[in-house]
A and B are shown apart, each in its own frame.
Chain A
Amino acid sequence: MRRTGSSGRVAVLVGLALLASAPAWAAGLEFYQTVNREEVGSEDTFLLTIVTVDAPPDAKVKPPSSDDFEVLNSSRSSQRSVSWSGGGPANIQDITKYVLVMRANRAGRLTIPPAEMTAGGRTYRTDSVQLSVKTGRMGPPAGQAQGGRQQQRLPDPFANFPSRLPDPFTEESEDEPTIPRGDSDLFLRASLDRDSVVVGEQVTLSLYIYSRVDLNSVDAVTMPKLEGFWTEEVESPTQLSGEQKVVDGVPYRAYLLRRRAIFPVKAGTLSISPAEADITTGFLFAGHRVHRVSNGLKVKVAPLPPGAPPGMSNANVGSWRLSMDVSQTQVELGQPVTVKVILEGVGNVKNVTPPKLTGPSALKIYDPTTSDKVSPQRNRVQGRRVVEYLVMPQRTGTFTLPALEFPFFDVRKGGYEVARTDPVTLTVEQGAGGPTPTPTSPTHVADAANEQKNVLTTGGLRPVRYQARFVAPAEAPWKRGFFVPVAMAPLGLLFGVALFGGLRGRLATRTQGDQGKQQAKAARKRLAEAEKLQAGGDVGAFYGEVEKALHGFLGARLGGPVSGLTREVIAERMTAASVAPERRAQVLYVLEACDFGRYGGGGDAAARQKVMDAAAAAMEGWA
Chain B
Amino acid sequence: MSGYYTPEEAQDVFLKANEAYAREDYAAAQEGYEKLLSRGHGGPDVLYNLGTTQLAKGDLGRAVLALEQAKKQGGRAPDLEANLAVARARQVDKVVGAAADEEFLPRVTAATDGSLVAWTFLASWVGALLLLLAWRLSRPGRRTAVGLLSAVLLLVALPSGVLLAAHAYVEQTVHEAVVLAPTLVARELPQPGARSIFEVHAGLKVRLLEETGRFVRIRLPNGLEGWTEREGVSEI
Contact = CB atoms under 8 A, between A and B. Distances in A.
The answer to whether A and B interact is yes
Interface of A: 402, 458, 460-473, 476-478, 483, 486-487, 489-491, 493-494, 497, 501
17 contacts: A402-B24, A461-B55, A461-B83, A464-B18, A464-B52, A468-B49, A469-B43, A469-B44, A470-B45, A471-B42, A471-B73, A473-B42, A477-B115, A477-B118, A478-B118, A487-B122, A494-B129
Given A468-B45, A478-B118, A462 B83 contact: yes
Given A461-B83, A486-B122, 15 more contacts: A461-B56, A464-B52, A465-B79, A470-B43, A472-B1, A472-B3, A476-B115, A476-B118, A477-B115, A478-B168, A487-B121, A490-B125, A490-B128, A494-B133, A501-B136
Contacts of A493: 129-130, 133
Contact of A464 (B7, B48, B125, B133): B48
A472 B48 CA distance: 15
Contacts of B138: none
B45 A469 contact: yes
A471 B118 contact: no
Nearest to B73: A471
Summarize A's interface: helix, strand, loop or mixed: loop
Contacts of A501: 136
B138 to A, nearest CB: 12
A477 B40 contact: no
Contacts of A487: 121-122, 125-126
A460 B119 CA distance: 38
Nearest to A496: B133
The 4 A-B residue pairs whose C-beta atoms are closest, nearest first, are A490-B129, A471-B43, A468-B45, A477-B118
Contacts of A460: 86
A467 B132 CA distance: 45
Contacts of B60: none
Nearest to A490: B129
B39 to A, nearest CB: 10
A477 B122 contact: yes
A468 B14 contact: yes
Contacts of A461: 52, 55-56, 83, 86
Nearest to A478: B118
Given A476-B114, A490-B133, A491-B129, A468 B43 contact: yes
Interface residues of B, number: 50
Nearest to B2: A472
Residue in A468, A478, A491 whose Cβ sees the most chain B Cβ within 10 Å: A468
Interface string B137-154: 100000000000000000
Contacts of A471: 1, 42-44, 73
Contacts of A494: 129, 132-133
B52 A467 contact: no
A473 B11 contact: no
A480 to B, nearest CB: 9
A463 B51 CA distance: 11
A127 B143 CA distance: 149
Interface in B1-27: 1, 3, 7, 10-11, 14-15, 18, 21, 24
A390 B24 CA distance: 24
A192 B131 CA distance: 101
B46 to A, nearest CB: 5
Contacts of A472: 1, 3, 40-42
Residue in A477, A486, A497 whose Cβ sees the most chain B Cβ within 10 Å: A477
B36 A483 contact: no
B41 A470 contact: yes
A470 B125 CA distance: 30
A362 to B, nearest CB: 16
Given A461-B83, A493-B129, A473 B40 contact: yes
Contacts of B41: 470, 472
A106 B159 CA distance: 106
Nearest to B55: A461
B228 interface: no
Contacts of A483: 118, 122
B118 A470 contact: no
Nearest to A497: B133
A462 B168 contact: no
A470 B42 contact: yes
A468 B11 contact: yes
A501 B137 CA distance: 10
Contacts of B49: 464-465, 468
A214 to B, nearest CB: 66
Contacts of B130: 490, 493
Contacts of B11: 468
Nearest to A467: B45
Nearest to A470: B41
Contact of B119 (A465, A466, A473, A477): A477
A468 B45 CA distance: 5
Residue in A465, A469, A483 whose Cβ sees the most chain B Cβ within 10 Å: A465
A461 B129 CA distance: 50
Nearest to A492: B129
A473 B47 CA distance: 12
Contacts of B18: 464, 466
Nearest to B10: A470
A405 to B, nearest CB: 14
Contacts of B24: 402
A328 B3 CA distance: 53
Contacts of A467: 45
Contacts of B45: 465, 467-470
Contacts of B55: 461
B82 interface: yes
B233 interface: no
A470 B7 contact: yes
A493 B136 CA distance: 12
A350 to B, nearest CB: 29
A514 B126 CA distance: 41
A567 B36 CA distance: 92
B171 interface: yes
A402 B23 CA distance: 11
Interface in B103-128: 114-115, 118-119, 121-122, 125-126, 128
Contacts of B205: none
Contact of B171 (A458, A470, A476): A476
A476 B15 CA distance: 29
B32 to A, nearest CB: 11
Contacts of B62: none
A491 to B, nearest CB: 6
Nearest to B130: A490
Interface string B61-92: 00000000000010000110011001000000
Contacts of B21: 464
A473 B129 CA distance: 32
A417 B114 CA distance: 55
Nearest to B87: A461
Interface string B28-41: 01000000100011
B36 A470 contact: yes
A478 B164 contact: yes
A465 B49 CA distance: 6
A470 B128 CA distance: 33
A472 B56 CA distance: 26
Contacts of A473: 40, 42
